[in-house]
């Protein structure tokens, strides 16, 4: 009965989202405040209904209700409880429900948000979010009903894919979906602006918090997925340029460009048309990712068991939204008033360059991901486009972008001068070069390019903090204490920028350091000792163990440093009888930011073990940097001007903006970025 109620709630939500779409948009058109005011409660209602439905499905999973086909296919009574719950979104139907839940959540958040959004813009935005919800609810109800019953109900489920029985499943998909789906609200705002034919700095300010939220979560989601792949797959890679990873990287890149272009729009009322286009493209890329994963065109652990109807349906949704939004864009964009002009060497110019580079980089990823699919469907030739392609196309675009980043951060609005910027960055650049030389000297004979990568990362981190330093110091004398006080008094959005850029630097250092990782593949018998990067690993023994819903062979190692025992670690080979599948669980030991990583392959007839030993120097920096980036987004979100409605006067306006980016009176009300 409860199950049917959950199913029914979805149908109700579909009906209510039709209201959420039609009534506010009609109200905005006819200037009817009453009709427009229907939007927020409808959006909240849709969210509540979907939340209920999601709760029911979770309950069915928690209680192993095998009368549900979905639970049978993806759960097992012996599965640890936490994986029963996370298993809700470890399959196509359940994850689609989570997708829609987040979609509705963002609609409801816009409905309750207290920031000043003009009523018409809010009404249209909520309506557009309703339209997206309608499409996906239809998809769920027609092709992927999670509440389908099965009769007679079996006694036992078929278990979840063992690769998904991991804490990563609890974290990675929700974070990623909040990011992916979060861009729907930016899309809805863009559509609303086009419908209204009006776009200005107010729009940019209204959209920015949502873009930052989505971007921050997407950053975390991608990083978490990368770390999960790193420890779960047993061979130490952290990014594979797999089409599914690319599918999440593309919206991230477009979203990054969007965050930067809305700044220009907010501060300088320029780049309007481009920003709208970016907002459309970002969500389109999110939709594309959904299509790639759920249509069966890709081979991936992320690709769920698929039937062609679903792929076709999503393709329909994709064509409808991308085609519709681009058509609306083509029709309305020429009517938008063009914004101000600026010199090529200026903050605006730098941000344009940023957008240019990021979108180009995104385009190369797009081509590399879709070209094999297009080629196969056109000519039947099967090719694979892997890391070498992306290293040859993506990196040559990304590296100059990162090199220019610190310059962009210090350049003045409207008109900057090259000499001034360079003079402000020579300390950071000098230290970065010093770091490069030092790393090169220490690792002489090692990888030649990696020290440059480290130097680039250092430059990014120093360049990021350079902004704070110059703004705190240049505001006049007064010693370290006053400078520190001034630095802390800088707007939080400034600190957000600093953290995000520094986080990028930290990630770059981590990526560059992978060049020094060491890998050994050896045969070991119990008692054998092998060295890896200065550590000795002793195989203590292999023994079987039975836990929960799997059996495993455990290889226990002792890690020694100069003969002194520093750690015990276990690596496992698990067999999940319900599916007859096996997985490898790597043994990890962290030393600072570096890790020793051990996994094993087959046990040979003579009892020896094929073992992979890795030393991964500074590898954790890759993910720590991503977390710092997301923290930057979170910090920028707490900035005054997103919490309070109207543009607020910066604390002590003229005094606070001590950098050379002194703005004319009209814009000085907005704290510096």
Partner 1 sequence: MTRKQRRLTLIGAAGATLAIALGLVLWAMSDTIVFFRAPSQVVSEGVAPGVRFRLGGLVEAGSVERHGDQVTTFAVGDGGGTVTVRYRGLLPDLFREGQGVVTEGRLDATGLFVADTVLARHDENYMPREVADALKENGLWQHDGPAVRPAAARDLPITTPTQ
Closer to partner 1 by Cβ: residue 330 or 521: 521
| Residue of 99, 557, 600, 642 interacting with partner 1 (CB under 8 A) | 600
| Residue of 120, 208, 612, 641 interacting with partner 1 (CB under 8 A) | 612
> Residue holding tokens 């058109």?
29
Interaction of residue 312 with partner 1, rule CB under 8 A:
no
302: helix, strand or coil: coil
Stretch that binds partner 1, among 82-90, 250-258, 387-395, 550-558 (CB under 8 A): 387-395
Residues β-bridged to residue 554: 543, 572
| Residue of 70, 186, 290, 364 interacting with partner 1 (CB under 8 A) | 364
569: helix, strand or coil: strand
Rounded Cα distance, 450 and 436, in Å: 9
- Cβ at position 303, least distance to partner 1 in Å: 5
> Residue holding tokens 């759960």?
75
Question: Helix axis angle, 620-637 relative to 201-232, nearest 10°?
Answer: 160
283: helix, strand or coil: helix
Closer to partner 1 by Cβ: residue 601 or 647: 601
Q: Classify burial at 668, counting beta carbons within 10 Å of its beta carbon; exposed 0-12, middle 13-18, buried 19 or more.
A: middle
- Judged by CB under 8 A, the number of residues near partner 1 is 65
| Residue of 434, 521, 529, 644 interacting with partner 1 (CB under 8 A) | 521
- Cβ at position 521, least distance to partner 1 in Å: 5
Closer to partner 1 by Cβ: residue 32 or 528: 528
Interaction of residue 404 with partner 1, rule CB under 8 A:
no
- Cβ at position 35, least distance to partner 1 in Å: 42
Interaction of residue 501 with partner 1, rule CB under 8 A:
no
CA 664 to centroid of chain Cα atoms: 36
Interaction of residue 305 with partner 1, rule CB under 8 A:
yes
Interaction of residue 414 with partner 1, rule CB under 8 A:
no
Interaction of residue 91 with partner 1, rule CB under 8 A:
no
| Residue of 53, 86, 161, 470 interacting with partner 1 (CB under 8 A) | 161
Interaction of residue 78 with partner 1, rule CB under 8 A:
no
- Cβ at position 605, least distance to partner 1 in Å: 9
| Residue of 61, 83, 163, 210 interacting with partner 1 (CB under 8 A) | 163
| Residue of 34, 384, 477, 546 interacting with partner 1 (CB under 8 A) | 384
Rounded Cα distance, 668 and 138, in Å: 48
Residue 248 · residue 222 · CB < 8 Å: yes
- Cβ at position 554, least distance to partner 1 in Å: 15
Interaction of residue 553 with partner 1, rule CB under 8 A:
no
Q: What is the footprint of partner 1 within residues 284-303 (CB under 8 A)?
A: 296-303
Residues β-bridged to residue 574: 552, 583
| Residue of 8, 52, 240, 473 interacting with partner 1 (CB under 8 A) | 240
| Residue of 269, 519, 528, 540 interacting with partner 1 (CB under 8 A) | 519
Closer to partner 1 by Cβ: residue 445 or 580: 580
Rounded Cα distance, 37 and 55, in Å: 28
Q: Which two tokens stand for residue 179?
A: 């990011």
Interaction of residue 669 with partner 1, rule CB under 8 A:
no
Closer to partner 1 by Cβ: residue 260 or 612: 612
> Residue holding tokens 């000098």?
430
Q: For residue 533, what are the CA distances in angstroms to 155, 455, 586?
A: 51, 23, 18
Sequential DSSP letters for 446-482: S-SSHHHHHHHHHHHHHHHHHHHHHHHHTT---HHHH
Nearest to 591 by CA among 619, 550, 610: 619
Site string for partner 1, 165-204 (x = CB under 8 A): ----------------------------------------
Interaction of residue 342 with partner 1, rule CB under 8 A:
yes
Residue 85 · residue 58 · CB < 8 Å: yes
Rounded Cα distance, 557 and 539, in Å: 5
Closer to partner 1 by Cβ: residue 357 or 459: 357
Rounded Cα distance, 504 and 631, in Å: 12
Interaction of residue 418 with partner 1, rule CB under 8 A:
no
Interaction of residue 445 with partner 1, rule CB under 8 A:
no
Stretch that binds partner 1, among 367-375, 502-510, 556-564, 655-663 (CB under 8 A): 367-375
Stretch that binds partner 1, among 216-224, 234-242, 253-261, 649-657 (CB under 8 A): 234-242
Q: For residue 228, what are the CA distances in angstroms to 26, 54, 164, 244, 569?
A: 46, 25, 10, 14, 18
Q: Which residues contact 187 (CB under 8 A, 6 or more apart)?
A: 128, 132, 279, 280, 282, 283, 284, 321, 325
Report whether the peptide linkage leading into residue 152 is cis, meaning its omega lies within 30 degrees of zero.
yes
Rounded Cα distance, 67 and 64, in Å: 9
- Cβ at position 233, least distance to partner 1 in Å: 6
- Cβ at position 292, least distance to partner 1 in Å: 11
- Cβ at position 365, least distance to partner 1 in Å: 10
Stretch that binds partner 1, among 52-60, 109-117, 560-568, 596-604 (CB under 8 A): 596-604
Interaction of residue 353 with partner 1, rule CB under 8 A:
yes
Residues β-bridged to residue 603: 609
Q: What is the DSSP letter of 672?
A: P
Interaction of residue 381 with partner 1, rule CB under 8 A:
yes
- How many CB atoms within 10 Å of residue 617? 19
Stretch that binds partner 1, among 236-244, 428-436, 441-449, 630-638 (CB under 8 A): 236-244
- Cβ at position 413, least distance to partner 1 in Å: 15
Interaction of residue 520 with partner 1, rule CB under 8 A:
yes
Question: Helix axis angle, 272-294 relative to 167-196, nearest 10°?
Answer: 140
Phi/psi at 345 (nearest 5 deg)?
A: -90, 95
CA 222 to centroid of chain Cα atoms: 4
CA 394 to centroid of chain Cα atoms: 18
Rounded Cα distance, 84 and 144, in Å: 20
Interaction of residue 336 with partner 1, rule CB under 8 A:
no
Residue 218 · residue 252 · CB < 8 Å: yes
Sign of CA dihedral 310, 315, 321, 324: negative
Rounded Cα distance, 283 and 261, in Å: 16
| Residue of 116, 142, 343, 448 interacting with partner 1 (CB under 8 A) | 343
Stretch that binds partner 1, among 232-240, 423-431, 555-563, 588-596 (CB under 8 A): 232-240
- How many CB atoms within 10 Å of residue 442? 9
- Cβ at position 67, least distance to partner 1 in Å: 21
Q: What is the footprint of partner 1 within residues 564-593 (CB under 8 A)?
A: 573, 579-584
Interaction of residue 334 with partner 1, rule CB under 8 A:
no
- Point out which residues bind partner 1 (CB under 8 A): 161, 163, 233, 235, 237, 240, 242, 244, 296-306, 341-344, 352-353, 356-357, 360-361, 363-364, 367-368, 371, 381-386, 388-389, 392-393, 396-397, 519-523, 573, 579-584, 599-602, 604, 610, 612
């Amino acid at each position: 009965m409860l199950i049917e109620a959950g199913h029914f709630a979805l149908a109700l939500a579909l009906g209510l989202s039709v209201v959420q779409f039609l009534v506010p948009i009609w109200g905005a058109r006819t200037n009817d405040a009453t009709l427009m005011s229907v939007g927020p409660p409808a959006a909240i209602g849709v969210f509540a209904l979907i939340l209920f439905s999601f709760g029911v499905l979770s309950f069915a999973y928690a209680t192993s209700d095998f009368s549900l086909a979905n639970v049978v296919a993806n759960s097992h009574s012996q599965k640890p409880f936490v994986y029963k719950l996370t298993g809700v979104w470890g399959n196509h139907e359940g994850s689609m429900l989570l997708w829609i839940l987040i979609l509705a959540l963002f609609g409801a958040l816009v409905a309750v948000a207290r920031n000043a959004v003009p009523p018409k813009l809010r009404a249209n935005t909520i309506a557009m979010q309703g339209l997206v919800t309608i499409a996906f609810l239809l998809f769920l109800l027609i092709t992927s009903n999670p509440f389908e019953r099965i009769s007679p109900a079996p006694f036992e489920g078929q278990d979840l894919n063992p690769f998904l029985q991991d804490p990563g499943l609890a974290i990675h998909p929700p974070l990623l979906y909040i990011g992916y789906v979060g861009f729907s609200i930016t899309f809805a705002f863009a559509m609303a602006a086009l419908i209204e034919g009006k776009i200005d700095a107010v729009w940019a300010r209204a959209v920015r918090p949502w873009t930052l939220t989505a971007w921050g979560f997407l950053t975390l989601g991608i990083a978490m997925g990368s770390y999960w792949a790193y420890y779960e797959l047993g061979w130490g890679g952290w990014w594979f340029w797999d089409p599914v990873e690319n599918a999440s990287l593309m919206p991230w890149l477009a979203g990054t460009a969007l965050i930067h272009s809305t700044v220009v729009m907010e501060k300088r009322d320029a780049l309007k048309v481009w920003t709208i286009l970016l907002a459309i493209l970002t969500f389109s890329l999110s939709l594309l990712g959904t299509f790639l994963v759920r249509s069966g065109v890709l081979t991936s652990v992320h690709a769920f068991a698929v039937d062609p109807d679903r792929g076709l349906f999503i393709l329909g949704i994709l064509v409808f939204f991308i085609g519709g939004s681009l058509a609306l864009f083509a029709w309305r964009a020429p009517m938008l008033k063009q914004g101000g002009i600026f010199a090529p060497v200026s903050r605006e110019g730098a941000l344009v360059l940023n957008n240019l580079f990021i979108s180009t980089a995104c385009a190369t990823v797009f081509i590399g991901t879709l070209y094999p699919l297009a080629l196969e469907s056109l000519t039947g030739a099967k090719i694979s486009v892997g890391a070498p392609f992306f290293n040859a196309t993506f990196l040559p675009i990304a590296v100059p972008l990162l090199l220019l980043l610190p310059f962009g951060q210090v350049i003045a609005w409207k008109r900057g001068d090259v000499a001034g910027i360079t003079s402000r960055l020579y300390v950071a650049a000098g230290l970065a070069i010093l770091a490069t030389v030092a790393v090169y000297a220490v690792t002489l004979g090692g990888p030649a390019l990696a020290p440059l990568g480290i130097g680039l990362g250092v430059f990014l981190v120093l360049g990021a903090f350079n902004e704070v330093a110059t703004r705190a110091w240049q505001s006049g004398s007064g010693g370290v204490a006053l400078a520190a006080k001034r630095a802390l008094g800088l707007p939080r959005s400034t600190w957000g920028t600093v953290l995000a850029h520094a986080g990028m630097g930290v990630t770059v250092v981590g990526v560059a350091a992978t060049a020094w990782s060491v890998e050994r593949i050896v045969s070991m018998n119990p008692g054998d000792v092998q060295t890896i990067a200065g550590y000795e690993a002793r195989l203590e023994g292999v023994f079987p163990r039975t836990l929960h819903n799997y059996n495993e062979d455990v290889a226990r190692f002792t890690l020694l440093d100069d003969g002194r025992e520093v750690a015990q670690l276990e690596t496992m080979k698990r067999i999940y009888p319900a599916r007859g599948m096996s997985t490898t669980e790597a043994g990890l030991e962290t030393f600072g930011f570096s890790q020793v990583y051990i996994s094993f392959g087959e046990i040979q007839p003579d009892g020896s073990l094929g073992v992979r030993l890795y030393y991964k120097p500074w590898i954790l920096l890759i993910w720590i940097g991503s977390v710092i980036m997301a923290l930057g987004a979170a910090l920028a979100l707490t900035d005054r001007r997103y919490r309070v409605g109207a543009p607020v006067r910066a604390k002590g306006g003229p005094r606070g903006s001590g950098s050379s980016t002194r703005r004319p009176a009209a814009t000085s009300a907005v704290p510096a970025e």
